[in-house]
């Protein structure tokens, strides 16, 4: 493309092209004299509305990658793009304030943004309805089950009005039945709200159940070893042959990569 004075002009980049884009991202942690390279040359693009699951062994840099996308830390090299609205983040631990009711916990991001009292009340009611917890607005976290606490955490994340939701093993501590239920709930909520999701898990079946794509990271340092589109129609169930077969293929690739690392 050529500009008015014959200068090269980059083609216009559509604003909606990427919700999250990492370009050649590396991250080194220094501990005294030793340096740990957590990530090496990660390039990854997540399109708006897409659900991308990131899988890899414990310690391969998944949480590091999410913290960079969340803007909690800076890469040692490369760049991270997330658009103008900071992404919302959800962890394995719901991290609710124990002395606040579910409604008050959900209300926090709205208060932080200076939303008016009346608008806050309506929005909290709407968000609790979205996560099917309208009847538990006045319950405190210790009165809720683990799955319910994660739904409160999800409502609180939604209250940030972010376009992108970053989830770090959010269902890792839940029993299988609760987790299956929350998979369906998450799918419904993210579709309803048109959210982009970057979901970290070491559970390959969960990644195949949820993801439009599954991105595999190698261990020490984390590199992208494969980026696999999941061709399985929705709604999906984690306990089907299709999901199990693709999960087995992915697990095999992770083991092969781990074997190469050990040999090298
Ligand atoms: N703040 C930190 N300081 C030093 N090393 C860290 C820090 N955070 C993570 N690491 C190291 O970086 C590597 C990746 O960690 P992490 O991103 O937590 O992996 P994962 O989430 O995949 O289990 C590990 O070797 C871990 O010990
Ligand atoms: Mg982690």
Q: What is the pLDDT of residues 68-94, one digit of tens each?
A: 999 999 999 999 999 888 999 999 998
**Ligand 1 mutation pick, 28, 38, 169, 207, max ligand atoms within 8 A of CB:** 38
DSSP annotation of 2 = B
Instruction: Look at strands 213-217 and 196-201 and give their pairing.
Output: unpaired
Split at pLDDT 50, 70, 90, the class of 262 is low
Which residue's CA is the nearest one to ligand 1's atom 24? 59
pLDDT in tens, 3-27: 445 555 555 544 558 999 999 999 9
Give the ranges where 70-173 is alpha helix by DSSP (H). 102-112, 117-130, 146-158
Q: What is the pLDDT of residue 17?
A: 84
Which residue's CA is the nearest one to ligand 1's atom 14? 61
| CA 6/CA 2 separation, integer angstroms | 5
Q: Which residue has the tokens 């062994």?
A: 57
pLDDT at 145 over 90: yes
Name the burial class of residue 229, with classes exposed (0-12), middle (13-18) and buried (19+) by CB atoms within 10 angstroms of its CB. Answer: exposed
Split at pLDDT 50, 70, 90, the class of 258 is confident
Q: What is the pLDDT of residue 14?
A: 47
Position with higher pLDDT, 15 vs 232: 232
pLDDT in tens, 173-187: 999 999 999 999 999
Count CB-CB contacts under 10 A for residue 255.
11
**Ligand 1 mutation pick, 27, 28, 29, 60, max ligand atoms within 8 A of CB:** 29
How distant, in Å, are the alpha carbons of 11, 49, 197 from that of 192? 33, 11, 13
- Given a contact cutoff of 8 angstroms between Cβ atoms, the answer to whether 176 and 22 are in contact is no
**Overall average pLDDT of the 88-117 stretch:** 96
Whole-number Å distance, alpha carbon 26 to ligand 1 midpoint, is: 13
């Amino acid at each position: 493309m050529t500009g008015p004075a014959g200068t090269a002009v980059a083609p216009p980049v559509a604003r909606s092209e990427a919700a999250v884009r990492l370009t050649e991202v590396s991250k080194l942690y220094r501990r005294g004299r030793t340096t740990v390279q957590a990530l090496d040359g990660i390039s990854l693009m997540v399109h708006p509305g897409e659900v991308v699951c990131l899988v890899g062994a414990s310690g391969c840099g998944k949480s590091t990658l999410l913290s960079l996308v969340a803007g909690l830390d800076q890469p040692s090299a490369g760049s991270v793009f997330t658009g103008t609205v900071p992404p919302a983040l959800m962890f394995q631990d719901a991290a609710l304030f124990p002395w606040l009711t579910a409604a008050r916990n959900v209300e926090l991001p709205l208060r932080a943004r200076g939303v008016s009292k009346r608008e806050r009340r309506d929005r909290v009611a709407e968000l609790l309805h979205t996560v099917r917890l309208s009847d538990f607005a006045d319950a405190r976290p210790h009165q809720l089950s683990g799955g319910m606490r994660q739904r409160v955490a999800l409502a609180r994340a939604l209250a940030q009005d972010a376009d992108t939701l970053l989830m770090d093993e959010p269902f890792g501590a839940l029993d299988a039945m609760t987790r299956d239920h929350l998979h369906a709930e998450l799918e419904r909520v993210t579709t309803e709200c048109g959210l982009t999701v970057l979901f970290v898990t070491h559970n390959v079946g969960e990644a195949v159940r949820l993801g439009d794509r599954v991105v595999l990271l190698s261990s020490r340092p984390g590199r992208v070893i494969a980026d696999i589109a999941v061709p399985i129609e929705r709604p999906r169930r984690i306990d089907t042959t299709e999901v199990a077969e693709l999960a087995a293929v992915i697990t095999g690739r992770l083991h092969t990569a781990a074997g190469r690392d050990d040999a090298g």
